[in-house]
Every structure is written in C-alpha cells, then in structure tokens.
Structure 1
Amino acid sequence: MSLRALLAAALLAATATPALAANAGFMLLQEPRPDAPPVEVGVWYPTNAPPAFMPLGSWGHTVAAGAPVAGERLPLIVMSHGNGGFFGGHADTAQALAEAGFVVAALTHPGDNYRDQSRATAMADRPAALSALIGWMLEASPLQAKLDPDRVGAFGFSSGGFTVLAAAGGEPNLSRMAGHCLKHPGNFDCKLTASRPAPADALAARWVHDPRIKAVVAAAPALGFTFRKRGLKGITAPVQLWKATDDEILPGDDYAEAVHRDLGRPHDYHVVPSARHFDFLTPCNAAPPADLAYLCASAPGFDRQAFHRDFNIAVTRFFTEQLVAPKDGASGR
C-alpha cells in the first residue's frame, strides 16, 4: 500500500468514531408541555468528570450526575421505552453511547409508563412525543448549544421499537390488529388491547414522522405486522433491527421478523439465540419487587450481561457509522 493510501486509511479510521469521553454524565430534566404536565427525560452525555454508581430502581448506571458536557456539535440519540416502562430501562446502552460521544435523551412516555397506563394503546401519541422531544432537545433544552441538529438517531424497544419505526416514516395500519388477535389472543399486545381499548381520539390520530431522524435501532418492535411493505416504504433512514428467538411477549414472526421481511431494502438484522423479550433491558443490579421479577429473569444459561456488552458495542457502532463517519468524512475533520 502506498504512503498516500496509508494516510487516507488512517484519516478514515480517525473520523469513523466520535471523540471518546472519559465517562458519561447524567441529568434528569423536565420537558415542558403547553397544556399538560412536563415530560420526564433522562439525559446521558460525554463528560470528563469522575463517575459514581447511581441506582435506577432495579437497574443502575455509573455516571457523573450534573457534570459539565465534554465536546461540541454532538450527535443526539432519542430513546423510546416499551409499554409500562420509564426513561431508565436502557441505562447501560445510554451510558455506552454517551461514553462514545453521543448525547442520549430518553423520555418517560406520557400515558404509557409504569405509573400511568391511561393511554397505553394510544399508539400515535408515541411518535408525536418522540418528535417533540427531538425539537425540545435541539431548540430549548439545557444541552441545545452542544448538539448537532444534523445528527439525530432513534433507539426503541418493544412499543418503543414500533415508535421509532413510525417516527422515522413508517405508516402502520392498526386495523390489522383485529385479524391478528383472532389468531393470537394470548399474545401480550392482544391482551393489552382487549383490557384497554384505544381511546376514541386515538383512532383519528395521524402518525407524526420526523425527517430529522437519520438512523434507527428497533429492538423487538411491537406491532411489526401492522406496517407491511407499503407502510415501511417511507423509512429511508438506515435501520438496525433486533429479534429475540425466545420472545415470550411478542412470539413468532409477526413482529421483528415481519419488519425484516417487509422492509424491502438492506438493513442490519440481528437474531439473538435463547434471548427473551426483556433481555434487551439493562441487566438488573438489585432484586426487583416480586411482581416485577419477570423483567430481570433470563433463560437458564443466558448471560444478559455478556449479551449487553455485545449489544451495546453493536448499537454504538451502528450509530457511529451512520451519524458520525459520513459527515466527518465529508467535512474532512
């Protein structure tokens, strides 16, 4: 290889990753809304301050709370949790991204969280809330001056996986739920809609799409069968998709596999052997209450911590390749 080629390769390697920070910082913020209570938002970001372990219920992360932000024009990842979750369900993934130079903003979805299930089946609320979070982070949050509005990605799990696909341009057709639930009444999504029908105003809601989303990671996405090929055509951003082979909540081929089958263009698809649905959540650091023990329970022999080491590397690499390397390479930085 010539000296010029070696120098070019070295430059590409240097620009293919964001500047690494020593640690992850963390803030818990309140996103204001004009006609409703504020939205709870956990924010992880790169910092050089020393961290300490911070519990988050049965989970936890090692962060420097309230520390100064390291870096400028940082890429932003917004996170959407699953049904009944909260902002901290993917804290280890958020921490890993922050240590790699990303700012991560994870909301607690209004009306679909562990405290409030009043709008758990109002699915159009979710991409609208995610888009509003992007706008607030870029335009009015305490970190707005540190963010690059051209580098925005979205990560979602379960109902959050559905959320990020819809926010990135997907058009689901929820009328397909009826036929699906006739065949699979025991699936979690069918039990949820049977016990909590969608609010009347949710049926007329329009799907909010946000073109600022330039890359998508969807883990075990709910309601994947509602999109089909036509409904996925509007997603132009690169997609990384994850499926758990032993998913007990969203079993079979109607969810992640349906998105994989119908997406119709190359994407990064990962199938995790022996994984259950909640293995995508942060490994538990403490014993949960008895009624939540299922969130921490993996199959015998499945090492959730080892899986998350690989998962976080893959997610970070994907967002780096899609949001950092193209722009940095083009600008010569």
Structure 2
Amino acid sequence: MKKYSAALALALAAISATPPTAAKAEIAATIPIKVTPASVGDPGYAAIPVVIWAPSTGTGLPLVVISHGTGGGALSHVDTAQALAEAGFVVVAPMHPGDNFQDDSNVGKPAWFVDRSRHVSKVIDHMLSGWEGHARIAPGKIGIYGLSAGATTALITIGGEPDLARIAPHCAASPEFVCRIMAPQTVTTPPVWTHDARIAAAVIAAPGIGFAFEPAGLTKVRVPIQLWVGSADETVPFKSNAAIVQRLLPKPPEFHSVSDAVHLSFLAPCTPETPPFLCQDKPGFDRRAFHNSFNKSVIAFFRQQFRITPKAKP
C-alpha cells in the first residue's frame, strides 16, 4: 500500500511523544488530574494503547473517547483532553493500531475503519469494567470526539455505514487527499461495522470519506452531533465530505465553520517542541485562541447533552 506521508508521521510522533510542559503545569495549577497510559485488550488483534485523563475525585463522571486522525496518536488532541478533564470529564484517547505515527499498515485497506470502530467499543468496555476507576463513570453519559479519520470513526461507531464501493468512482471523478492513501475497494462481503449504542453524543471535525455515506449511510445515526469544519481545509474538502454528512444526518447537527482554519488547525496548539510542519496555519490564524474557544464549545455541548450543570468555582 502507499505509505502515509512520512513527514506527517514523524511530526505527529514528536508531538505525541512530548506533552507540552506548560500544559502539565496548567493541570497542576487548576484541579487534580491523573494522566495514565494503559493497554486495552482486543482479542484476536493487537492490544490498543490508550492515555486516560481523569479528575482525581468525583463520581457519576461523564466519559469522552477521543479518536485521532490518520497517522496521529493518543496525544494529538492533548489540550482538548486536558480541558475536558479539568471540566470534570474522564477522557480516554486510543492510539489506533495500524493507523498511527508508528504504524500505518492498515491505512487505506478494507479493514481500516472496521478496525477503528471496533477499537472505540473495546476502549469503552475497558473504561466501564477494566479501568481502576470504572465505578466513577456514569454509563449513560458517554461521548466521542474525532478529527478527520477519527470523525469518520465516530460516525461509524454511532451508526453510520459508509459504502466503500463508492471510493473508486468518486476518486476517478473528483480526486482528493484520501484518494492517495485509500486504494479502490474490492468488497466481496459487507464490512462488519461496530456500532455502539452506549455513545450518547458526538463532536466531529473535518470528517473524511463523507461521500461514501451517500445515499443513506447515516440514517441510523440518532445521537446529537456538533460538526466542525475549517473554511480553508483543502485536505478534506467541505463539498465532498462534511457538507454531505451535514445533509444526510437525520437530525441537523450543531454546525461550526472556522474562518481560515486548515485541516491541521484542529490539532493541539503548537509549542516549542512541535515540528514546524504541524504549525502551518494560514497567516494571521491564532490556533491557540481558536482552541480556547473550541474547547469551551465542546465542553458546553457535552454538558448540554448530558444535562450537566457546572459547579461554581470557589
């Protein structure tokens, strides 16, 4: 298969391996947050590495799964994970086996999204039964956030079913970035998608292969969705992806278009350790200011869907 961009993989390796020092200090200065790595079993497949952010105290806590984009890692959205944890959410971010900065062997293959959706469900199983703090989680308050391939993963996990046979004709007529990494699919048997009814709300940003959900691949999606796009995103064109998702969803999503944001603008804000490749926003675009607003909107959305009233600060 064609390897995913080596430059992007190496860049994401660096950001995933080096959490921002300032972010750690911010955690310590607000409320006690425990950040731990773990490994989730997936019988018959590779174990799933995860990072878990959790408030040190509290019960009845909501859970949010974060699914990274292609070639990413568990810390690709570290600022959003930390913001959610500081707001009282338990957050778990898997590093999808076969699609991460260390291993892209599954990218573009028929099992790519089949495996990703299964990963999410296995991670939820672990958080509700295997994680040491599982009794502190409210099973009825589970959400998911995903960017790009992670957004597609989220859509599948909440009931979406893409038609992979649509990839070849779409790419022949309107080639886009995904056409470089996803070979034409020869589907002899229908994919076994993993849908998880425990997920009650989803935030998705710049979803990929939106065209593959035509004409009725999102009819089973019933949970509320917050949908984000960047107006300058040329990696995942709006017209053939998010616009289709927005139109096909049975219930209109809460829609946000971010002026001048490119695809990578949804990754964690840059620090001195971040490779310059990941920081190529449009001139004048302030990623840190955007993420400050974005994280607040994500928290507010999940709180609204889970009927959570934030506690007043002392």
Q: Which bin holds the TM-score, normalised by the shorter protein? A: 0.7 to 0.9
Q: CA deviation at 1:24?
A: 3.0
Distance 1:179 1:303, change over 3 A: same
Hey, what's the Cα distance between the residues in 1 that align with 2:272 and 2:221?
Answer: 39
Structure 2 distance, partners of 1:325, 1:209, is 25
In the alignment, which of 182, 191, 196 is matched to residue 193 of structure 1? 182
Identity %: 42
Where has structure 1 moved over 4 Å in runs of 4 or more?
200-204
Matched, 1:108 2:91: no
Match of 1:120 among 100, 104, 107: 107
- The 1:235/1:79 distance shift into structure 2, 3 A limit, reads same
Rounded Cα–Cα distance in structure 2 between residues aligned with 1:94 and 1:203: 37
Matched residue, 2:138: 148
Match of 1:303 in 2: 286
Q: Deviations over 1:192-232 (max 9, x none)?
A: 014xx66x899653111000000000100111111135211
Give 1:252 shift: 3.7
**Larger radius of gyration between Structure 1 and Structure 2:** 1
Kept in 1, the 8 Å contact 2:204–2:226? The answer is: yes
Verify the 8 A CA contact 2:42 2:119 in the aligned structure 1. no
Greater strand proportion: 1
> Relative to 1, partners in 2 of residues 1:157 and 1:235: Cα closer, same or farther, differing over 3 Å?
same
Deviations 1:56-88 (A, max 9, x none): xxxxxxxxxxxxx21012110011000010010
Q: Residues 91-144 of structure 1, C-alpha deviation per residue, up to 9 Å, x if partnerless?
A: 100111101110000000010001101111222111111111111110111221
Report matched runs for 1:254-333 at 5 Å: 254-289=240-275, 293-325=276-308
- The Cα shift of 1:179 comes to 1.6
Contact 1:23 1:98 in 2 (8 A): no
Compared with structure 1, are the counterparts of its residues 303 and 208 closer, same or farther at alpha carbon in structure 2 (3 Å cutoff)? Answer: same
Q: Spell out, residue by residue over 1:162-191, the C-alpha distance to the aligned partner (whole angstroms, 9 max, x if none).
A: 000110011111111112101233x21000
Distance 2:153 2:215 in 1: 17
1:234 aligns with 2:234: no
Q: Tell me, which stretches of 5 or more residues in structure 2 are unaligned?
A: 1-29, 310-314
Q: Is the 8 A contact 1:76 1:151 kept in 2?
A: yes
TM-score, normalising length from structure 1? 0.79
Q: Secondary structure at 1:230's aligned position in 2?
A: coil
> Which residue is equivalent to 2:233?
247
The equivalences for 1:17-36 within 5 A come to: 22-36=31-45
Aligned length: 277
Equivalent residue in structure 2 for 1:73, among 42, 60, 63: 60
CA distance in 2, matches of 1:30, 1:207: 22
**C-alpha RMSD of matched pairs (Å):** 1.9
In the alignment, the residues of structure 2 paired with residue 119 and residue 275 of structure 1 have an alpha-carbon distance, to the nearest angstrom, of 28
Q: What is the letter of the counterpart of residue 94 of structure 1?
A: A
- Paired with 2:91 and 2:74, the residues of 1 have a C-alpha distance of 11
Taking the aligned partners of 1:208 and 1:227, their CA distance within structure 2 comes to: 16
Q: TM-score, normalised by structure 2?
A: 0.84
Which residue of the partner structure matches residue 162 of structure 2? 172
Q: 1:40 aligns with which of 44, 49, 52?
A: 49
**CA 1:137–1:190 in 2, change beyond 3 Å: closer, same or farther?**
same
Is this contact kept in 1: 2:83–2:295, CA < 8 A?
yes
- The amino acid across from 1:321 in the alignment is Q
Q: Letter of the aligned partner of 1:132 in structure 2?
A: K
What is the rounded CA distance, in whole Å, between the counterparts of 1:204 and 1:314 in structure 2? 37
Structure 1 range deviating more: 272-281 or 33-42: 33-42
**Residue 14 of structure 2: aligned partner:** none
Tell me the SS of whatever aligns to 2:104: coil
Q: Do the aligned partners of 2:164 and 2:187 also contact (CA within 8 Å) in 1?
A: no
AA aligned to 1:298 is: D
Letter in 1 for 2:180: K
Q: CA deviation at 1:37?
A: 3.8
